Structure 1
Amino acid sequence: MNEFLILSIVVLIYIVITGYVGYLAWKRTKTADDYMVAGRETHPFIMALSYGATFISTAAIVGFGGISGVYGMGLLWLTFLNILVGIFIAFVFFGKRTRKMGHNLGALTFPEFLSKRFDSKFIQYFSGLIIFFGMTLYASVVLIGMARFVETTLNLDYTMALIGLAVIVALYVIFGGIRGVMYTDALQGSIMFVVMFILLVATYWIMGGVTDANQALTNLVNIVPAQATATATATGFTGWTSMPALGSPFWWTLVSTLILGVGIGVLSQPQLVVRFMTVKSNKELNRAVLIGGIFICLMTGTAFVVGALSNVYFFDKLGQLAIQVVDGNADKIIPAFISAAMPLWFAYLFMIALLSAAMSTLSAQVHVQGTALGRDVYETLTKIKGDSSVFIARIGIALAMILAVIMGLILPTNIIAVGTSLWFSITAGAFLSMYVFALFWKGCTKAGAISGLVVGTLVSLFWLVFEYKKSAEALSIAKALTGQAVLTTAVPWPTVDPIVIALPVAFVVTVVVSLLTKAPSKEHLEKCFQGVN
């Protein structure tokens, strides 16, 4: 039988199963609570896999896996932070308080949670607008990651792959809501886990084992041509299995943007926070920690290790580093390695895993964008409640997907990892200080929370437009206004991620304004913190 026909049948079966799971979710979605927080009755296994599958997308596997082919195994520090911060701290310290406080306040979305905690409608619709428009960048790079793999592996048209994936995801999210998202996430996460385990084992087997493969990568320390990175060796590169020189531009990009931007920014991701409000007790969150930790460890660890080791494979076979083989586009390193090193059947299997990764993350993104538009913006501003907000949410999901497809067609190469990091940084600057104080400091005032939200957002945007070189050069606004790509050219500022600047500023502003303004009422705080420990 023709191999392409076999693949088509496998993909069709996968889509049918996914559609059936989405149908089951649709049948069980009756109310706004069902649509937005799954009736607060989600099983811990489903919640953990949904959280992990939403967290790990094609941006992590293709984008960051490819970036590890440029920066080496130093990116494994992100895996460590993902488990420590994104799973353990998020579930144990943030998740339990979010679940209970969200239940006390009757919150169905992340902006609504913050809004009711600080008794501010402005926080709800302002946050909703940030999420609806800002998350488009993240959604688009997830789409790009999948479409690039299809383009490289199957020689199919990139635009058609982009649009086809978007249509499939939009349909089951629009009708199934958060249940549709989480049920399909659990299915997709299971597929991803199995395939990534096979990839890790197969990669080390091909290269002679763990010790030989890692040593061969270490031995490539001097094989770094100028085109291998945007900054080259003179800017701090010290080897594929070591961290860059402390304080160098190479170090700042790796640590501030790729590691801290995602590793810390995960705490304020709306599509992840809302999952804490879908379980009925803290026991479910405790049971989900181990499942989520193992899942994240294998997913990110495999992608970063394989991306780095692809240099060994390509140098042995072609005398070139991975980034040279793909003509400087890091987004193509993982697809190129799979196509060259793995049998065709695994390339097809890996495509299903990437399809799962893309669909699980993308569905969560557009769901939170839709609910942000429907409940947090429309319902807050019009004061019209009921089923109309769900209808607007469904329209918002369709609009969000259209915007993601458009951006997927116009964004430049090497954008997947950077685009993901920038979105995580923006949310950290805007939401993280307010979210932390909402959970842990009763003295944080409405004025303090609003000040931190607005200032953190504005500082993040300013840094992206005028100071951070990767984004400032792409936008060209600073160039048009000042004649230079960034306002501050002195090292290391052009390589310092917005999270390093905006997050501390937002924290300080929130604290200072809270100390200078009227404290929230005792009655409101008792309602928020009842049973929270």
Structure 2
Amino acid sequence: MIEKLIMLAVFFAVMIVAGVLTRRHARSVEGFVLGGRRVGPWLSAFAFGTSYFSAVIFVGYAGQFGWKFGLSAVWIGIGNALLGSLLAWWVLGERTREVTRRLGASTMPEFFGKRFRSQGLRIASAAIIFVFLIPYTASVYNGLSRLFTMAFGVPYEVCVIAMALFTCVYVVLGGYMATVVNDFMQGVVMLAGIVAVVCAVLAQNGGLVEALGQMAAVSADGSAAPGALVSVLGPDPFALASVVLLTSLGTWGLPQMVQKFYAIESKRAIRKGAVISTVFALVVAGGSYFMGGFARLYADQVPFVAEGRPAFDAIVPAMLQGLPDLLVGLVVVLVLSASMSTLSSLVLTSSSVLTLDMLRQVGPLGRMSERATVATMRGLVAVFVAVSAAIALVQYHGSIAFIAQMMSVSWGALAGSFLGPLFWGLFSARVSKAAVWASFACGVGITLGNMAVPFLGSPITAGAAAMLASLAVVPLVSLVTKAVPFEVRPVRGPEAVDAAPCRQSGDGCA
């Protein structure tokens, strides 16, 4: 216990020190939100990866989908690396950086407002972000706190409150630069931790060959034939494909992920960051799902709920229960690193869009000074942390949903609303306001409609469907409605992306 507490004390101390040391970068709006757009490839890539993978992946998804799909769950990690990281950087990275600098956009709603010359789109997208990031944030608290309870016997409520306080302190102090500096250090812990945990789980089961042999003898749900859980595509390829699509393509439309491209310093840094981010995803996501693929070997240690279904959120903690204390401490720091990096990114995104894209666009608040705006964002960081922590506590005691469901609802609504408008808005001059509104309606409508009447089944399938619908709806509606004029060709010359950005309100800056 002493070793675990020392590791945690060092971890929290490093976070606060990073916030103090980077506070000078957070004095202006652009500094607080984007680190002055001068963030290098290593910090940007690790910030992307650590924002991508949290306790939701390690505890919620790895346990649930490892149980359902067996070793084929590794395809989710591969999809996260290739589609969710590598292709996202290659396709969106450079273009997003160039266009957002040309428009002078610091947030995704500001991009929509200036690209499509619509104040309504800006405010609506900010509202969608603020509302649907809350369940995702609550799911991050949930996953981490379950591991804390397992490792330390600390009440769930204490874990949630402590995590909220420490995240709030360093984000308020240093803004974006504090988050990316901490993300880098936390990413190193995640890489080392996941390798150690995978090796330990295999060792518990007699090594890789012996563990595979044991898994081959286990039957999947609904099938009497053994071997499906070690097959290439697993027992349910369609459901597996839906998870790959949701968790991989989703990064293309999530504001907290795309924001990393706004802040990176150069085109060369984007090319380097793509490689770093992909390797990070292969190790962390691939390792997590590979470990989760052996979940069935711990069936006698996993609690079951109604209808014979295992408590998915309890699977990974059960797998780690028998590890040596020092390794358990490392696991806790690993998941703490993943969760707090994701949490800091979410709260910073939420506070910035609420301040810049909603409060400053209405009434007398629109005349706030730079200093007052930064102070407001700092205050809203605390508000968002408090609200999401309260929801996490209500969810835990009310048993509203398990982790994967909460994340799926958030990702489905956000990426289902924004993926099409962002992608086509960056690369096509033939996009209309009506098409963007239609995409927003599809993303939110499909997600909420499926919650009320599950016509698409699980929130995961609904989220994947919403993303594909967004990509299709935008060009189709744009064919029959008036496009917003915009010069899609990049500005040429060395001064193109480093010139002072256009700040004309409502202007496309073409």
Preserved CA contact (<8 Å) 1:311 1:322: no
Distance of 1:323 and 1:105 partners within structure 2: 53
Of 327, 344, 347 in structure 1, the residue corresponding to residue 325 of structure 2 is 344
TM-superposed CA distance for 1:102, in Å, is 0.8
The 10-residue stretch of structure 1 (373-382 or 202-211) with the greater mean CA deviation from structure 2: 202-211
Specify the code of the residue in structure 1 equivalent to 2:481.
T
Distance of 1:362 and 1:494 partners within structure 2: 25
What does residue 157 of structure 2 align with?
A: 159
TM-superposed CA distance for 1:239, in Å, is 2.5
Distance of 2:481 and 2:491 partners within structure 1: 24
TM-superposed CA distance for 1:261, in Å, is 1.6
Alignment pair present for 1:393 and 2:338: no
Preserved CA contact (<8 Å) 1:464 1:498: no
Preserved CA contact (<8 Å) 1:48 1:288: yes
TM-superposed CA distance for 1:170, in Å, is 0.9
Please list the CA deviations of residues 326-376 of structure 1 after superposition, one character each: whole Å capped at 9, or x if unmatched. 983111211121122x11111011111111111100000111011111111
TM-score (norm 2): 0.89
Specify the code of the residue in structure 1 equivalent to 2:288.
A
Alignment pair present for 1:49 and 2:46: yes
What does residue 472 of structure 1 align with?
A: none
**What is the count of residue pairs matched by the alignment?**
484
Q: For residues 321 and 305 of structure 1, do their structure 2 counterparts lie closer, same or farther at Cα, with a shift above 3 Å needed?
A: farther
Preserved CA contact (<8 Å) 2:253 2:416: no
Q: For residues 68 and 512 of structure 1, do their structure 2 counterparts lie closer, same or farther at Cα, with a shift above 3 Å needed?
A: closer
Distance of 2:226 and 2:472 partners within structure 1: 34
Please list the CA deviations of residues 153-172 of structure 1 after superposition, one character each: whole Å capped at 9, or x if unmatched. 21111111111111110111
- Segments of 5+ residues of structure 1 without an aligned counterpart are 225-231, 468-487
TM-superposed CA distance for 1:322, in Å, is 4.3
Of 352, 356, 361 in structure 2, the residue corresponding to residue 371 of structure 1 is 352
What does residue 13 of structure 1 align with?
A: 10
TM-superposed CA distance for 1:450, in Å, is 2.5
Specify the code of the residue in structure 2 equivalent to 1:241.
V
Alignment pair present for 1:255 and 2:241: yes
Preserved CA contact (<8 Å) 2:246 2:460: no
Distance of 1:16 and 1:449 partners within structure 2: 44
TM-superposed CA distance for 1:192, in Å, is 1.0
Q: For residues 416 and 202 of structure 1, do their structure 2 counterparts lie closer, same or farther at Cα, with a shift above 3 Å needed?
A: same
State how 1:392-471 maps to structure 2 within 5 Å: 392-411=376-395, 412=399, 415-467=402-454
Alignment pair present for 1:309 and 2:287: no
- Segments of 5+ residues of structure 2 without an aligned counterpart are 498-510
State how 1:87-126 maps to structure 2 within 5 Å: 87-126=85-124
Distance of 2:34 and 2:429 partners within structure 1: 26
TM-superposed CA distance for 1:178, in Å, is 0.8
TM-superposed CA distance for 1:145, in Å, is 0.8
Please list the CA deviations of residues 442-493 of structure 1 after superposition, one character each: whole Å capped at 9, or x if unmatched. 11122322332234322332222222xxxxxxxxxxxxxxxxxxxx5xxx75
Distance of 2:458 and 2:12 partners within structure 1: 44
What does residue 27 of structure 1 align with?
A: 24
Preserved CA contact (<8 Å) 2:408 2:463: no
Of 356, 359, 377 in structure 1, the residue corresponding to residue 337 of structure 2 is 356
Please list the CA deviations of residues 5-46 of structure 1 after superposition, one character each: whole Å capped at 9, or x if unmatched. 332222112211111011111133221111111111111111
Of 228, 240, 249 in structure 2, the residue corresponding to residue 239 of structure 1 is 228
Please list the CA deviations of residues 83-128 of structure 1 after superposition, one character each: whole Å capped at 9, or x if unmatched. 1111111111111100111111111112112221111111211111
TM-superposed CA distance for 1:241, in Å, is 1.9
TM-superposed CA distance for 1:211, in Å, is 2.7
Please list the CA deviations of residues 372-428 of structure 1 after superposition, one character each: whole Å capped at 9, or x if unmatched. 111111112343353333232222211211121111112227611222122111112
Q: For residues 198 and 500 of structure 1, do their structure 2 counterparts lie closer, same or farther at Cα, with a shift above 3 Å needed?
A: closer
Secondary structure at 1:277 match in 2:
helix
Distance of 2:468 and 2:85 partners within structure 1: 23
Secondary structure at 2:321 match in 1:
helix
Alignment pair present for 1:530 and 2:486: no
Alignment pair present for 1:288 and 2:244: no
Preserved CA contact (<8 Å) 1:331 1:414: no
Specify the code of the residue in structure 1 equivalent to 2:487.
L
Alignment pair present for 1:517 and 2:504: no
Please list the CA deviations of residues 482-506 of structure 1 after superposition, one character each: whole Å capped at 9, or x if unmatched. xxxxxx5xxx756772234433443
Secondary structure at 2:228 match in 1:
coil
State how 1:140-219 maps to structure 2 within 5 Å: 140-219=138-217
Distance of 1:298 and 1:156 partners within structure 2: 30
Distance of 1:353 and 1:175 partners within structure 2: 23
Distance of 2:417 and 2:108 partners within structure 1: 13
TM-superposed CA distance for 1:150, in Å, is 0.7
Distance of 1:236 and 1:102 partners within structure 2: 54
Secondary structure at 2:362 match in 1:
helix
Preserved CA contact (<8 Å) 1:252 1:495: no
Specify the code of the residue in structure 2 equivalent to 1:384.
R
Specify the code of the residue in structure 2 equivalent to 1:395.
G
Distance of 1:84 and 1:10 partners within structure 2: 33
Secondary structure at 1:107 match in 2:
coil
Preserved CA contact (<8 Å) 2:435 2:475: yes
TM-superposed CA distance for 1:198, in Å, is 1.2
What does residue 329 of structure 1 align with?
A: 311
Secondary structure at 1:463 match in 2:
helix
Task: Give the alignment's Cα RMSD to 1 decimal.
Answer: 2.5
Q: For residues 497 and 384 of structure 1, do their structure 2 counterparts lie closer, same or farther at Cα, with a shift above 3 Å needed?
A: farther
Distance of 2:6 and 2:389 partners within structure 1: 26
What does residue 478 of structure 1 align with?
A: none
The 10-residue stretch of structure 1 (409-418 or 159-168) with the greater mean CA deviation from structure 2: 409-418
